[in-house]
Structure formats: C-alpha cells, structure tokens
Amino acid sequence: MIEHFKHKASVQKALDKALAYQPKLNAMVSFLEPTSQLEALKAIDPSSPFYGVPIVLKDLVNMKGSITTGSSKILENYVSPYDATITQKLSAKGAIIIGKASCDTFGMGGTNMTAATGPVMNPYDLTRMSGGSSGGSAVLVASGVVPMAIGTDTGDSVRKPASYCGIVGMKPSYGRISRYGVIPYASSLDHVGFFTTTVKDAAITLEVLAGRDDKDMTSSNRPVEAYASLLKGDLKGQRIGILKNVIDSIQNQSTLKEFERLCQKLEAKGAICVPIQLNEDLMHAFLPTYYIIANAEATANHSNLDGLRFGVQKEGDDVEAIMSATRTAGFGKLLRKRFVIGSYALFIENQEKVFRKAQKVRRLIVEDLKKALSQCDVLMAPASSQGAPRLDDQSADQLSSEYLIAENFMALGNFSGYPSITIPFTLVDGLPVGINLTASAFEEAQLLDIAYGIEQVTQWADRTKELV
C-alpha cells in the first residue's frame, strides 16, 4: 500500500501538465515553486505514503507563505502566516503541494461558477461545469494532473464534483479530520474531504489526514484505523439501503436504468439491497434548513474580513469607513445575499422562528437518518441525477423534487456529520455519474470497504480523462 502512490509521483510532470491544462480547465488559482518542499523531502522517510507525490490544496487551505485567496477578491493578496493542520500532516508524509485549486468563493456554491478566477471546466466536456465548490481539486484529479487533491464539503462540495468528474470524493465523519487552518464556510457543517482515483488511495489519504488535533476542539479522540489494510471488498451480507426518495425523484431514465443494473450486480455479489424511505417532508426542508444554518454561521465566520489586518483594503476616512468600503468591494452580490439571509435568521425577533427552528429541523433530519441506518450498513443513491450541467445552464427548477431531493440529498452527511463517499459508477450520455454512500458516524472502515467492493463491480478504478 505504501508503494501505491509512488508510480504516480512526478512533481515536474504534474506541474507541466497543470500549466498545459490551465487554459482549458482553469482549475488552478496559484502555482507553488516546489524546490524547498523537494529539499525538505531529505528529512522524510521515503516509505511515507505521500513521499514526493504532487498534490493540490483547495484554495481555502492555509499553507505558510503561500497565497490563499478562498477564490475571493477580498483575500486576493492574502499570504498565509501559518499552516493548516492538514498541510503539516501532508508535508510530514512527503506530499509536494504544487498549488491551490479553484473553488466557489469561500466554498459557498455548488457550481464553481463563483470563483474569483472564473469557472472551472469539466475535462469530459469543456462546455460543462466541474461542479463545486471544490471544482478545481476535482478536475485536477480527474484529468490526471495529481493523484490526490484536498477539498472541503459543507453541503456536497466534494461528493458532487466527484460525481461530475468521474472520481472518488470522500468526506469522513465530522471531527475525523482537523479543520484548523481551513477557511470556513459554515463551521458546524464544514468537513475536510479529498479526491482520489481509487478507493484504496482514499483509504490511504484518510489515514494520513485523520486524528485528534488540539487546535480543533471539534476533532475526535477516536483512534485512527488502518483503513487501507482493512479493505477486503467482500460485499457478501452487506446491507445496502437504497434511498427510494432519491430514486423516485430522478427523471433521467438512463441513470435509473444504470443504477438498477448496479443494484442487481451488487446483489449477485451477495449484497442485500433494502429499500429505505426517508421522511419526504423533511427532505423537502433540506435546502431551506441548510441555507439558514450555513448562512447564519457564514455571516459571523466572515466578519473577520474587514481589510484592517489582512486582505485587500479599500480607502476610507476612518476605520469604520475602511471596513465598510472593503467589504462592499470585496464581496460579490451572491455573498452579500447570503450574509443578509444569515443575519436575518439571527435577528433577535427572527431567531426563534428561523434559526432555532432550522436547528430543530436539522435534529429531526438526523434522527430520521439514524433510524434508516439502523436498518442497513450504508445508504446508497446516485450522487447526481445526470452528468454535469452546461456552464450556462440555469434551467434547474429549484422547487422541483428532482432539484430539492435528488440534487441536494447529500447534505444529509453534513447535517449528521456522518461519513460519506462518492465513487464513479457509469457514464450517462457520455458524462460521468457517481453513486454516493453514507454510513453511521465513524464507520469509515466499513464505508470504505463497501465502496471498495462496489469499485470492483463498476470497474471504474483509476480512470482519468487526459486532455489532448
């Protein structure tokens, strides 16, 4: 397993490829000159899992001395004065960070269309989006630039782009990976996640990233398991819950047919597929609940961006005027809208009927999920109803069940903090579509093992889409 990443390890090749692909994919925000990191390899055990392996960080992850913009305008010039805990962990295991990948500004979006550096293109079809918010990271793995990229996931920001890009995208349990040094969107929903091309690579990556960090009070003290060596891939007797609500709201017949076929293959391998019905009313409430909690936390989380101590400062007659001018110029319309919604939810006169109510609904959603997972080992459903939309596609009916349920159910993993993974499963109309699996809290080992078994059925491991 230690040798696993090795054959993929060529920093120079990765940099060359990233540069060559940049005009087409627009996935990178900044490149890093790797000399000092390569120099530092001398002090690192060559058997380390990421020894000399090129990787990218989502542009929300701090690395001392590097530019970390959050794909925003307001932090365009921000040089990190410190390392995120995951940056240190990866460097200690020999990873070479070749740059920062584009994302929706501060992770707030699902399309990567809001990045300050513009949209990121899908390598399978350059007229289509990568998905977001971790779009740059997903695309760089999908196009074979790097074998692993760090993302973050607040609603489905790792697992959705993984589906659109035909790769593995995982976010483990809340508290499994330290968030220290990762620019937040919404603290109670934010997870660090990552992209790889195989389930085994995901298991290796999780082993490196997971573990208690005293700098993150929400990180867990549970011991980290040997996820990679625990992989068996035997599906016999595994109870796979099929999320009926999602299946029933998908319109695309090819997706449904392919999914049906997958379930049959899994049963042939000895898996037991059980239909699971979640509370439909609660599922319709996912999106409003999510937006209220996420935006309320976000409005506070981003109050530090006032231009006084760091970031792009705008002129003003006094301190207050500087803060106001900086924030007005630094945030786009969409972010301002989110902050207004978040503040509205927190106003003293609204707090009970909006913010507190959303938290109650969140608890109900988690209880419903818990009940479902008491009947099976994992929940499974297509991670998207079809392939990646076109860059200019605004056709989605945001009040339809297909949108509200099939396109947004993965927020379940964020509401609950339960581990969740997307792996590729098929092409629909020539575009990748993944399946998503969610397990109970801290059941990463079992989740990865089932994903590993399914990967052997789908035969999608290690596929990348190189550009010519």
71 catalytic residue (yes or no): no
Counting Cβ atoms within 10 Å, is residue 349 exposed (0-12), middle (13-18) or buried (19+)? exposed
Q: Does 70 bind other proteins (CB under 8 A)?
A: yes
The pair of structure tokens assigned to 209 is: 């990233």
Shortest spacing between CB 362 and other proteins, in angstroms: 12
- State which residue, 41 or 97, has the beta carbon closest to other proteins: 97
Shortest spacing between CB 325 and other proteins, in angstroms: 13
Distance CA 194, CA 367 (A): 27
Q: Does 217 bind other proteins (CB under 8 A)?
A: yes
Q: H or E element: which one contains 39?
A: helix 35-40
- The footprint of other proteins on residues 30-49 (CB under 8 A) is none
**What is the SS3 assignment for 30?**
strand
Amino acid code (one letter) for 286? F
Q: Of the candidates 415, 385, 460, 445, which has an alpha carbon nearest to the alpha carbon of residue 288?
A: 415
**Out of 218, 279, 456, 458, which residue is the one contacting other proteins (CB under 8 A)?**
218
Distance CA 250, CA 303 (A): 39
**Out of 40, 92, 212, 216, which residue is the one contacting other proteins (CB under 8 A)?**
216
Q: Does 104 bind other proteins (CB under 8 A)?
A: no
Shortest spacing between CB 351 and other proteins, in angstroms: 7
Distances (CA, A) of 201 to 64, 148, 206, 258, 273: 26, 8, 9, 25, 26
Shortest spacing between CB 290 and other proteins, in angstroms: 14
Shortest spacing between CB 316 and other proteins, in angstroms: 11
Contacts of 225 (CB under 8 A, 6+ apart): 207, 444, 445
Q: What would the 3-class secondary structure string for 173-184 be?
A: CCCCECCCCECC
143, 157, 163, 219: the active-site residue: 157
Q: Does 299 bind other proteins (CB under 8 A)?
A: yes
Q: Does 320 bind other proteins (CB under 8 A)?
A: yes
420 catalytic residue (yes or no): no
Q: Does 215 bind other proteins (CB under 8 A)?
A: yes
Cα-trace Rg, the chain:
21
Q: Of the candidates 70, 350, 266, 49, which has an alpha carbon nearest to the alpha carbon of residue 185?
A: 70
**Out of 78, 124, 185, 415, which residue is the one contacting other proteins (CB under 8 A)?**
78
Q: Does 254 bind other proteins (CB under 8 A)?
A: no
Q: Does 81 bind other proteins (CB under 8 A)?
A: yes
Q: Does 346 bind other proteins (CB under 8 A)?
A: yes
Distance CA 193, CA 373 (A): 22
Shortest spacing between CB 104 and other proteins, in angstroms: 16
Shortest spacing between CB 295 and other proteins, in angstroms: 12
Longest dimension (CA), the chain: 72
The pair of structure tokens assigned to 130 is: 């990568």
8, 17, 58, 200: the active-site residue: 58
- The residue whose two tokens read 């196009």 is 143
249 catalytic residue (yes or no): no
Amino acid code (one letter) for 453? G
- State which residue, 129 or 305, has the beta carbon closest to other proteins: 305
- State which residue, 12 or 303, has the beta carbon closest to other proteins: 303
Phi, psi of 150, deg, nearest 5: -85, 135
* Strands 378-382, 239-243: pairing kind: parallel
Counting Cβ atoms within 10 Å, is residue 120 exposed (0-12), middle (13-18) or buried (19+)? buried
- State which residue, 226 or 319, has the beta carbon closest to other proteins: 319
Binding mask 160-189 for other proteins (x = CB under 8 A): -------------------xxxxxx-xxx-
Distance CA 148, CA 198 (A): 10
Binding segment for other proteins among 68-76, 90-98, 360-368, 444-452 (CB under 8 A)?
68-76
Which spans in 269-416 are helix H? 280-284, 286-301, 319-330, 333-346, 357-373, 401, 412-416
Number of residues that bind other proteins (CB under 8 A): 45
- State which residue, 84 or 90, has the beta carbon closest to other proteins: 84
71, 102, 133, 416: the active-site residue: 133
Shortest spacing between CB 314 and other proteins, in angstroms: 15
Binding segment for other proteins among 141-149, 164-172, 339-347, 440-448 (CB under 8 A)?
339-347
Active site residues: 58, 133, 157
> Using CB under 8 A as the criterion, which residues of the chain lie in contact with other proteins when the complex forms?
60-62, 68, 70, 75, 78, 81-82, 84, 179-184, 186-188, 214-218, 296-297, 299-300, 302-306, 308-310, 319-320, 323, 343, 346-348, 351, 355
